[in-house]
Structure formats: structure tokens, C-alpha cells
Structure 1
Amino acid sequence: MSNNDTFSDWENLVKKQLKTEDIYPILSQSNLEGITIKPFYNKVSQPLNNLPKVEDSTHLVANFHESLEDDVFAFLLNENVESLTDKVFFINNKKLAEHILVEDHCNYYSLIDVFEESSATINDQLVKELLAKNFDRNITIDISLHQNSGASIHQQLGIALAKTKELVEAYGESILNKLIFKVAIGGNYFFEMAKVRALKLVFNQLSKEYGLDQVPYIFAETSLRNKSIVDSENNLIRSTLELASAMIGGADAVYSNNYQISKPSDLAEEISFKQQIVLAYESIINVFDDASNGSFYIEDITKQIAEKSWQYFIEIEEAGGYLQSLESGKIQLQIYQQATAEQCWIEEGKIKLIGVNMYPKLEVKKSISELYNQNEIKPVRWAEMFE
């Protein structure tokens, strides 16, 4: 039986089940990302090659604690720890980065963003200080801020490329293999897998513009945007799915923010990290380069996201680049428009947030105008409207 025959058989079966000849209006799904989703797939045009990652195995990152020294390989550091060896360290503190002296490559990575969004500038002194460090990766391009502020997926990736180009123009193309992309993974399970994969495609394309063939280093953390103060248990479920999206999509490192938003505790922090352990050692998804490769649905939306992200990057460049677009307020306004449209869907229940806008449905306490500012890239959780 041919693919076309198989597809027709599926269509006929669905028509029979739904008792209608016109199944597509019933099965169509709308989304704020502008991505076309088919009800079902039987093929994909031009399948993608396996998309590699930098690390052989996804690093499972925990906040440093002495009790974890024997069991954890990768730590997020906010203070100096001199006694540890054979570990991977992600430095999250400017003052700490200044005092760390690394003679050889010792698995040190900087998670410090050198862009100052409020003033639309790059901290030149900080860039030079970080590049002088003998770290494996020195400069972070942080688009977790944009995800938590309500930017669409293609806006996040387009901004990542635009920020990359600003750095290349200022410091040369050699900076490309010194970058870390810090991304926040939201709750749209398959779309977020595709986001990680699309970032690999568009960054690789940008590197080819400079005669290189680079793979991005991706540090993925759980989003705060869909988390709620009043429903920690559902926060835990959401963050587990987000970590799975990141690993399946092929992130190089993953980190789980504390699922208890209002009253974080040591126990909650431990549980947050152990989500990663369960996923890695029970599901064994942290060792694959591109676990979702071959899924028609994910392949299709990956290519759509990559194309939209590249087009948005071009639009930013035509407007003068990321910093100029920030200075003019264009980027802030575009994110504001996307974020408020998304918040309307939360208020109307089109995006379902269990324990907040359904089961139970809480009372709206803050308006959209109180939550958002069109002149500022400002992290906002959906649930703040009800808290």
C-alpha cells in the first residue's frame, strides 16, 4: 500500500469516527506562534539530518550543595568552591567570575549575560574580562529573559541570532565557539523540543555566513512563566515535562528552577534536581544527540520555527540590529504584543493552566495593563493575574 493510499485510509477512518466529510475544521488547532499544525502526518518533505549537540551526554545541573558533591557532576555556582575536582561548573555570578583563575581547561562555563537590555548596550569591559578567562565557554546569550517575558518562540530565536551578530561584529567571528545560549523551556511540549532543534539549525546557518560550521551550546532551564504560587504540585509536573523537552530536543545542559515559587526550600530544590535524575536514568534520554529525529510532526514544526526565526532575525537586522531595535523600543513593543495576546488566552481559558484558570478557576485580581509594560522586557508569570 502506498503512502497516499495509507493517508486516504486514515482520512476515511477519521471521517467515519467524526461522522463528517469535512474533518479539518474540527481537527485544526490554532496557536499564537503562527505555526501550521496538521491533524496527522504521514511524511515530511526533506527530512532533517540528525542534529548534533556539543556535549556527549546532557549535563544535569544542580545548585551547589556539599551534600551533593559525591553524586552530582555539574554544578551551578554562585560562590567559590575550591575543593572540588573533576566537575563541571556553570558560573552565575560576575564577582565570582572575576576571582576564578583557571590555568587549564577545567570545565568552567560562564552563564553571565553581557547584554544590558535596559540601556541597550553590551558591557564591553565585562566581555573582555570574560574572554580573558580560560573557560570552555565564556559568554552567555540569554533568551530565557525573553521567554519568561512572553516572547514567541521565533522571537526568542531571532533575538538569539541578532545578539550573536552584535557580538561577532564587535569581537570577531572567533567568539562563536565561546558562546552559551541560555534558553527557558516552556510548557508547549513538542514546540519546545522543536525550539531547541531549530536553534541548532539557525545558529549553524549563521555560522556558515562566516565560513564556519558551528553547533550551539544550549543551556536549558525550566520556565517560570507557567508556574503558580498556589499550585506547587502542578509546577513540578510542568517542569518535568519541560526538562524532557530540553533533553529530547538535544540541549547540552539542563537545570530545573525550584518548583516552589513563593517558599523555596532545600527539600524542594533537591526534588527539582532529582526530576532530571529520573528522566536521565529511567528514560535514558540525556545520551541522544537528537532523540526526536524522524518524528514527522516535530520535523515539520522544527523547520517552520527555523524559517520564521530566520525571517525575524532579518527584520531585526534591517531595522539596524538588536541594540538599535532595543533603543527604539521596537523589540519591547513586539514582545509586549505577543505576551499580552498570550495573557488574554490565559484569561479566556484558551491556554489551560490547571489550578489557576481551571480546576479551580481563580478570580482575576490584576489586569493585563497592570502586569505588562510595552517599554520594558519584563518577566511575568501567567498566574500573577490571579494571585
Structure 2
Amino acid sequence: MSTLENWEQLVKKQLKTDDIYAILQKENLEDVDVKPYYQNNSEYKILPKVEESTHLVAEYQEGLEDQAFAFLLNENVENLDEKSIFINNAKLSEHILTQESNRYFSLIDVFSDDHKAEINEHLSGELLSKSFERKICVDVSLHQNSGASIIQQLGFALAKSKELVERFGADILDKLIFKFAVGSQYFFEIAKIRAFKYLFNQLSREFEKDLIPYIFVETSLRNKSKNDQDNNLIRSTLELASAMIGGADAVFCNNYKIENPTELSKEISFKQQIVLAYESIINVFEDATSGSYFVEAITHQFAEKSWKLFLDIEEKGGYLELLKSGEIQKMIFEQATKEQSWVEEGKIKIIGVNLYPKLEVKKLVSELYDDSEIKSVRLAEMFE
């Protein structure tokens, strides 16, 4: 039977050096330990989804009713039947016309992500009074698009959940939906979604519950470019795949055209999901990477580091307190500017942006980021 030591001796012989890890291991922005090879030395369990198969969510367009079974709505649409409806507009929540044959989910976050640092009590009450299956969204997609690390995104999602429990009681945990954005780090993003299932389940156990989080995932804007939009299409396809394999309950593809989107580009963006789901059937797997030594190792590291961050936030007064003091904003700023510097130096390569760029334009980091604000910044903006 091969042991880890046998593998190491073989690799040392082939690379003709004893310092194999200096050659084979690469630094990463998450500061997790990524090994060049793994052996099975950990226990794992299947991480279920809430939905039997992942919802493929389309932004509403006339004519898509027969092709899409889940819609993202920013305005009221009548005569939808037997659909899953994701409400994406706080104003719409007041006037949405619900039908018994449809299922309704709120993607509305009740937190202010600025120095006001408050929960909107009126909006919260209004959402909690609705007959939606999931009433309040814990949205950390903005944090990803602003440059927050995976560990920060997971820690913030937990901290925001804890704030809601303190305000509305533990029963609120059954009513939450979590919104994440996924980027280009394929296996890391799979592990992110898997790790959050462990984390939320652990949080729910602190309140004598045993819950699985309902996870809605959208494609990231962080890595998209105005000047090379065809590559955006490829990037978002991989992001959708990682979301489905990671076990998201619903996925949505943002328009791959950053500038001048059209009805056709909107339709193509949705049909990326159709191709992935119906050609490879990855939307039906409960936990496709369970037992993968690499993915399991990364999942557990994300979970451990994110739980530690969550506890640190709690010790300092909680998410809203740190948001009010500006510490959350500074944490994201430091991570985002580090990532931007890696792009600038070429340590992160983005085709059509800093690798084979079409234009030679360059903005300063100080023009893009502000340590007092959580705002969406695309990495390509430096070169546009």
C-alpha cells in the first residue's frame, strides 16, 4: 500500500530535489494550505441541499415562461403559474401579487451596508408578514464583488445571521436565504458553498436546531471585463458549474455583457445554465465532490478559519458594531487591494485584461477603492 512518504520519495526523485514543496506549492489569497497531492486521512459526510435539484433562475423575459421554471423579478409580472419566484426588489415586496401555485423567495437584505449599520425594522416586519417560503436574505454577494476573501464572506454571513437572531429570535434561522457570488477559483468556490453548510448547521445547533442553509448563488462581477466580453461568458459558465457542484439550491447568471446588454445576451446568459444542467446533469447532485481529498481539505480549512473570524467579530460586538466603526470596510479594503495588486503584478492572470490586453490603460488603486465603503469593484477597471 502506498503511503504519503512513498509518494514524497518518488516526487523528490523525479524533481531531483528534497525541497519539493517550494516547487509544488503556490501561495493563495485565502492563506489556506493547498498541497500538491493528498491521501485519504479525514472523515467526511454528505452535505445535502434544501432543494431536490438546483433552480435555474432567469431574469424575467416574455417568451421564457415555457423554458424557465424559476424567475428573478425586479417588477411585478402577472399570470406566472407553477414557478419559483425570487423577489429582488424591496419596493416590489409591498405590491407583489402572489398566487398559490407559485413558490416565493425574498432576495431582499434588511441590513444597511454603510456606517448607519442598522437593520431596517419596517422592511423586516413587512417581509416577515409575507407568505414567502424564505422571507429575509443574508446577502454577501456585494462583499465578494467588493473583493472580500472567501473566509470573510463566510464569517460575515454567519455574523449577519447572528444579528438577525438577536433581533428576531432563533426561529428566524428557518426563514433565511443566503445569497453568495462565486468567482473564478473553481475548487475554492465549490469548497466555499460546502463550508457554509457546515458553518450554518453549526450555528443553528447553538440554538438547538439542525438546519441546512438555503443558498442562492449568482455569478461574480469582480472578474468581468468590458473589453473582452466573450471571455466573460466562459468565466460565468465555470462559475455556474462550481455553484451547482458545490450544492447551491438556486443559481442565477448575471449578464455577461458589462456594457450595452441586450435581450439576446440576457437570454444567452440564462441558457448557459440550461446547457450545464441538461447536458451534464450537475444540478441534481446532492454533494458531487464529497470524498474528494482536495476539496474536503479546503472545505474544512475554510470552515475553521471562517468560524474563528465569526467568533472574533462577536467578541468585538458583532457585525453591525464593526460596520459602524468601519472595521468591516477596512478588512475588505485590505483584502481587495491585495488582490488588485496581484492582478497588477501578473500573479493573477486574467485573459484580455492583464494577459493579452487589448488596451494599455491603467488606473491607480486609490482611484478604485475606498477603505470607508463597501462597493463593487471589477478587477479589470484598472485597465479600462
Q: What TM-score, normalized by structure 1, do the two folds share?
A: 0.97
Residue 314 (structure 1) aligns with: 311
Deviation at 1:363, TM superposition (A): 2.7
Residue 51 (structure 1) aligns with: 47
User: Can you give the 5+ residue segments of structure 1 that lack an aligned partner in the other structure?
Assistant: none
CA RMSD of the aligned region, Å?
A: 1.3
Within the candidate set 70, 77, 81, 1:74 is matched to 70
Matched, 1:114 2:115: no
Residue 242 (structure 1) aligns with: 239
SS of the residue corresponding to residue 282 of structure 2 reads coil
Within the candidate set 60, 65, 80, 2:61 is matched to 65
**In structure 2, distance between residues paired with 1:95 and 1:21:** 63
Q: Is the 8 A contact 1:62 1:75 kept in 2?
A: yes
**In structure 2, distance between residues paired with 1:98 and 1:8:** 63
User: Can you give the 5+ residue segments of structure 2 that lack an aligned partner in the other structure?
Assistant: none
Residue 265 (structure 2) aligns with: 268
Question: Following superposition of structure 1 onto structure 2, how do residues 211-230 of structure 1 map, counting pairs within 5 Å?
Answer: 211-230=208-227
Deviates more, 1:226-235 or 1:362-371: 362-371
Q: Is the 8 A contact 2:76 2:97 kept in 1?
A: no
**In structure 2, distance between residues paired with 1:103 and 1:270:** 25
SS of the residue corresponding to residue 230 of structure 2 reads helix
Residue 149 (structure 2) aligns with: 152
SS of the residue corresponding to residue 347 of structure 1 reads helix
SS of the residue corresponding to residue 242 of structure 1 reads helix
Deviation at 1:100, TM superposition (A): 2.1
**In structure 2, distance between residues paired with 1:342 and 1:44:** 32
Matched, 1:325 2:322: yes
**In structure 2, distance between residues paired with 1:304 and 1:26:** 22
Deviation at 1:372, TM superposition (A): 0.3
Q: Is the 8 A contact 1:102 1:133 kept in 2?
A: no
**In structure 1, distance between residues paired with 2:303 and 2:358:** 36
Residue 33 (structure 1) aligns with: 30
Which letter maps to 1:158?
G
Q: Is the 8 A contact 2:227 2:358 kept in 1?
A: no
Question: Following superposition of structure 1 onto structure 2, how do residues 1-387 of structure 1 map, counting pairs within 5 Å?
Answer: 1=1, 3-4=2-3, 7-45=4-42, 47-102=43-98, 104=100, 106-118=102-114, 119-360=116-357, 362-387=359-384
Deviation at 1:101, TM superposition (A): 4.5
Which letter maps to 1:333?
K
Deviation at 1:43, TM superposition (A): 1.5
Q: Is the 8 A contact 2:219 2:240 kept in 1?
A: yes
**In structure 2, distance between residues paired with 1:334 and 1:361:** 33
Q: Is the 8 A contact 2:140 2:179 kept in 1?
A: yes
Deviation at 1:375, TM superposition (A): 0.3
**CA offsets, 1:293-334, max 9 Å, x none?**
010000000000000100111111111001010000110011
**In structure 1, distance between residues paired with 2:257 and 2:76:** 26
Deviation at 1:278, TM superposition (A): 1.0
**In structure 2, distance between residues paired with 1:105 and 1:195:** 33
Q: Is the 8 A contact 2:81 2:101 kept in 1?
A: no
**In structure 2, distance between residues paired with 1:17 and 1:261:** 46
**CA offsets, 1:66-106, max 9 Å, x none?**
21111110000112122111011001112211112447583
Deviation at 1:48, TM superposition (A): 1.9
**In structure 2, distance between residues paired with 1:175 and 1:84:** 28
**In structure 2, distance between residues paired with 1:279 and 1:105:** 27
SS of the residue corresponding to residue 90 of structure 1 reads strand
Q: What TM-score, normalized by structure 2, do the two folds share?
A: 0.97
